Structure formats: structure tokens, C-alpha cells
Amino acid sequence: MGERPKALVITAPGINCDAELAQAFAAAGAEPELVLLERIRRTPGLIDRFALIGLPGGFSYGDDVAAGRVMAVLMREAVYPALAAAVERGTPMICPCNGFQIAVQAGLLPGADAGRWPARAPAPTVALCPNRLARFRDVWTRVEVPADTRCIWTAGLTLDPEADRMPSAHGEGRFETDAATLARLERQGQVALRYDARDNFNGSMGAVAGICDPSGRVLGLMPHPERFTRWTQHPWWTRLGPESVRGEPLGLRMFRRAVDLVRTGQHHRSTVPA
């Protein structure tokens, strides 16, 4: 199988899904390591040691001010250049839930235009707002992968509408932007995941559940794929037919795609059109 690529899981006070993210990377064949943000802020070059990166979910720094805001500010100051450089050289990165909220405020998503990352973190152009009914929801939903997405984590996945659901747990996950930005994201294949029209519980614009950067390597999404790497995690796994549970769960398939690309060296290939 070859050497297990190293996966960096950036953690901080208040984050509570770092162990789950590490376990998902490990199940997909990577070697995860949890590193505190403060250590990375002091030595950003640590990022260069890793072939994959994850920003976990949870409530970083208590979600003071707004969800993910404090951690995003700390990253914009000292870590953004190193992360942008990692993506430019081909490093896949996944940011579930609070990680998605952090990534959009830290300037990592929707990402650099045509893969040219600016020296300083750009201002956010999308937002994760309070859910439509202004309440926290913990729910499994049907999801869809757009046929034209360029996201390396989701592109080409074939979904079973009953078995391949995704768990979400958040109070601020409603995707919002202006109409022109959404149209551009759709046109460039940057919408990586949508809620099924029946399951858009938080009221996200365009039913967007996740987006990627123009290279397809950086994925931010509100659902938690790291919480669906074993069939026993599915709320109805005992009622699913044998055909449904024969393959790998959706979350594990997503992580395995990125890990396998790193192992074969294909992550260096840019998906940005010339």
C-alpha cells in the first residue's frame, strides 16, 4: 500500500471534532497528527511537513463574537500564507462545520481566482448565517453532488439517496452570498455538495451544503463526513438493505479519494482551466 501520507489536523480551544477528523483520515489510510493552532502560529513552516490538512468542527474559542471568528482572525494574521502555499503546491484540505465557518472568514474559501492566491487573506465573499429557524439542528440529510463539481473530495461520487445521507449539527450553517457570486461558483464548478431539496433544513441559498476553491482541493461543508466512516454510525443502519451497506460509507469514500490522490501523486495536478 505504500507509505501513509501525513495529515495535519489543526486544533484549538473549544474544538471538539478533532479526534473524529483524525480517525477519518486514519481510516482512509493517512497518518494524522493533531497540532495546536498556537504552535502553528509560532512556526507556520510546520505545515510543510503534511500532505493533507483538516480544520475540524466544534466551537473554536467558544464561537465568541460569531462562529469561527476568533480562530479565523488568528489564522489570517499568521497562518494564511502557509496554508495558501500548501494548497498551491497541491495539498488537499477539508473543513467541516466550524472548519467551514473558519475557512470562509480566514480567506481560504471560496479561494483564489484561477488558483492565484493573494499575499494577504482576501475579505470574505460568502457567509454561514444563523439557520432559517434560528435554532440548532442535529439531523441526517439527503445530499447531492453536482455533476460538474471540480471538488476532488466529492466529484464523481454515486449516491444512494437513502443510505448516503450526511450528519449535520449546527446553528449557523445557512449559506449566503450575493447572486453574482453564487452564479460564479456554480459556473466554475465550485459547488461541491448540495442538500436535497426536501432536506435544506437551514435554508441555504441554492441548497449549498459545501463549496471548494477553484483548484478543487479545499473543501468546506457544513455536514460532517468524518462522522460517517462506519455503517454503524448511520441512524438506520440496521434497516438498510445488504446492497446499501456493501460498500464504504459516504464519509469514508470522501476521505479515501483525497488520500488516494496524494498516494498516487495526482493531487499535484491542477483542476483550474488554463
Buried b (16+ CB within 10 A) or exposed e, 223-244: bbbbbbbebeebeeeeeeeeeb
DSSP letter (8 states) at residue 83:
H
Annotated active-site positions, please?
97, 224, 226
Identify each DSSP E strand in 215-267 by its residue range: 218-221
Tell me the sheet residues that pair with 192. Answer: none
Q: With both helix axes pointing from N to C terminus, report the angle between 69-78 and 98-105 in degrees, rounded to the nearest 10.
A: 50
- Is the distance from CB of 190 to CB of 150 less than 8 angstroms? yes
Three-state DSSP class for 267? helix
Q: Which three cell numbers stand for residue 123?
A: 475579505
- Is the distance from CB of 155 to CB of 145 less than 8 angstroms? yes
Tell me the sheet residues that pair with 77. Answer: none
The beta-carbon contacts of 123-127 under 8 Å, at least 24 apart in sequence, are 125/177, 125/181, 126/175, 126/176, 126/177, 126/181, 126/211, 127/175, 127/176, 127/177
How far is the CA of 190 from the CAs of 12, 108, 109, 115, 184, in angstroms? 28, 13, 10, 12, 8
